[in-house]
Structure 1
Amino acid sequence: MISKIATRTFASSAASAYKVSVLGAGGGIGQPLSLLLKLNHKVTDLSLYDLKGAPGVAADVSHIPTNSTVKGYEPEGLPEALKGSDVVVIPAGVPRKPGMTRDDLFNTNASIVRDLAKAIADHSPKAAILVISNPVNSTVPIVAEVLKSKGVYDPAKLFGVTTLDVLRASRFISEVAGTNPVNEKVTVVGGHSGVTIVPLLSQSNHKDLDTETRDALIHRIQFGGDEVVKAKNGAGSATLSMAQAGARFAGSVLDGLAGETDVVEPSFVDSPLFKDEGVDFFSSKVTLGPSGVKTVHPLGNLSGHEEELVKTAKDTLIKNIQKGVDFVKQNP
């Protein structure tokens, strides 16, 4: 059964035709993400890129009877993979192993994301860019710095995909409350790593959880990825749930581009909310439109506990964001 949330994502719109490029399509996230994007009727041109394996993934998903063409590209084809793209999704990079934090991935994934950002700037500078590669708190600023250096930065079209935190929050709160997760809406703000992930439970259907239950639930949402890394015994991280999160967010961006109204999702964006405190990027609800981010929503009323969590998140985000900025300065 497809959830109500996903129904809008896959709604058919005959007038909408978009090219979507997936950079890292051969990986654990990239393959199921490519499958889910093939099912989205707004995607009429699906372009799959990876260092190896993308043509095989493309041949495989191309047999699915939806109205889109699929092509796979390896390194020499990257310019063609990106040319004319409306949306570029970046799941490329190495996955987490047991004991690794998202920040531990930084050195490897930072270089990968920087180089892909350069290619996007050169070949599809007007595309909406959706960054999945971890650590998102640092990789999104890397993309921004590269685009700025090439004179093509549009803050309304750069997104860090934090949707997996939203999916987990809905699922985990439903397990605590004994409800259907489809009916649980939880806004998650801040960033996409550990203590920067702040679920606003006071704005959910379950604002009166006892302190012990609330704290355990918040911790599980913040560190839910660790459950998957541990359960896979070092063979991978959250790939299938992340693919669904990426497909949902990409679908919402496409709905916004198509002019649909009231398309609202949390995302890690160039945000005005806490810029005066030195936090240049922050995840909150954004309304999506034909030009990308239309409106950045304020956080709304927070509990005293959530105020403290947001403060901690901001302190950590300042360091994470600076790490990305410094990487591009030192490794242009």
Structure 2
Amino acid sequence: MVKIALIGAAGQIGTPLSLLCKSSDLFDEISLYDLVHVPGIATDLMHIDTRAKVSGYLAEDSGLKKALTAADIVAITAGIARKPGMTRDDLFKTNASIIRDIFTEVAATCPGATCCVVTNPVNSTLPIAAETLKKVGVFEPSRLFGIPVIGGHSGATILPLYSQAEPPVNLSEEVLAGVINRVQFGGDEIVKSKNGAGSATTCMAYAGFRFVKAILAAKNGDSVTEEAFVYLPGIPGGKGIAAEIGVDFFAVKIELGKVGAVKALPIGKISENESQLLGVAIDDLKKNIATALSFMST
């Protein structure tokens, strides 16, 4: 029996993620939680002929606790989306409290679950999740993940490693710089193209689902490697990487096993330009993480 709890399931990421999970036939039970609409979404999904039982819970009557009870995997997409002109710091002020409250309940109800954080801005929300779990003594770094990237989650913290691409990338410096910028700021492109109606949603739902599938495959004994934003010192191989780059939360390639993350892999050889980008990414990440820790200390 495999149960996944989707927190924020009525949102623009949570709803397509719910559909992907139900249509995959990978789960026996899917529980949805949000402040609105999820009982109806659950009823709708139950008309899909896969085996998973889908239930929807609202905030009243301890709905979050009911959704999380006996969950093996928890995927969190709850929070507000970024709007045009909104900085990630502005976004943080709202979503930080949401993540803290959700993980307070995770700690009490399903502390052994594998948790995947998608809620913006992950560079800060994942450290908040970690600190919340630490405060009650149930933090297990091998079971807490952010979305799959190298470096961080947004802007200059994203580190595209085209020097490691196979087959090799053969682009001029000018063209490659443009490609790297588009990778780093692709989220802004989506926000602008939606004219204020949303941000990256369906592609994020797919990214979340891809990572959930990787977790399940690893639990079933497959050899799986994915990029993920993690607390490096708590994962085998990660302490040395954290010491080398000077930051504890960072996304690298992670070997997944039955218990979650079993090994963090080094960044590897990178180009001179990528080394410069890495320095910028680390500086920004330090600020993002400090913001999260400051929030949790107050």
TM class by shorter-chain length?
over 0.9
| 2:275 is aligned with 1:307 | yes
| 2:186 is aligned with 1:224 | yes
Aligned to 1:36: 20
Aligned to 2:104: 118
Q: After the TM superposition, list the runs of 4 or more consecutive aligned residues in structure 1 that deviate by more than 6 angstroms.
A: none
AA at the equivalent of 1:311: G
AA at the equivalent of 1:54: V
Shift of 1:192: 0.4
Aligned to 2:250: 282
| 2:282 is aligned with 1:296 | no
Aligned to 2:235: none
Aligned to 1:50: 34
Aligned to 1:89: 75
Aligned to 1:27: 11
Alignment of 1:105-254 (within 5 A): 105-162=91-148, 188-204=149-165, 205-254=167-216
The RMSD of aligned alpha carbons is 1.2
Shift of 1:61: 1.1
Q: Distance in 1 between matches of 2:91 and 2:160?
A: 24
Q: Distance in 2 between matches of 1:48 and 1:24?
A: 8
Shift of 1:221: 0.4
Instruction: Classify 1:31/1:252 alpha carbon distance in 2 versus 1 (closer, same or farther; 3 Å).
Output: same
Shift of 1:42: 2.4
Aligned to 1:258: 220
Shift of 1:207: 2.8
Q: Distance in 2 between matches of 1:314 and 1:84?
A: 37
Shift of 1:88: 0.3
SS in 2 for 1:112: helix
Instruction: Classify 1:277/1:244 alpha carbon distance in 2 versus 1 (closer, same or farther; 3 Å).
Output: closer
Aligned to 2:292: 324
AA at the equivalent of 1:35: L
SS in 2 for 1:43: coil
**How does the TM-score come out when normalised to structure 1?**
0.84
The answer (yes or no) to whether the contact 1:50–1:73 under 8 Å persists in 2 is yes
Which consecutive residues of structure 1, in runs of 5 or more, have no partner in the other structure? 1-16, 163-187
Shift of 1:322: 1.4
The answer (yes or no) to whether the contact 1:202–1:208 under 8 Å persists in 2 is no
Shift of 1:144: 0.3
CA offsets 1:47-84 (integer angstroms, 9 cap, x no match): 10001111111111111111111000011221111011
Shift of 1:269: 0.5
| 2:231 is aligned with 1:270 | yes
Shift of 1:193: 1.0
Shift of 1:122: 0.4
Instruction: Classify 1:275/1:90 alpha carbon distance in 2 versus 1 (closer, same or farther; 3 Å).
Output: farther
SS in 1 for 2:79: coil
Aligned to 2:55: 71
Q: Distance in 1 between matches of 2:145 and 2:17?
A: 17
Shift of 1:40: 2.4
Percent identity between the two aligned chains: 49
AA at the equivalent of 2:141: P
The answer (yes or no) to whether the contact 1:40–1:251 under 8 Å persists in 2 is no
AA at the equivalent of 2:162: L
What is the aligned residue count? 288
SS in 2 for 1:97: coil
SS in 2 for 1:229: helix
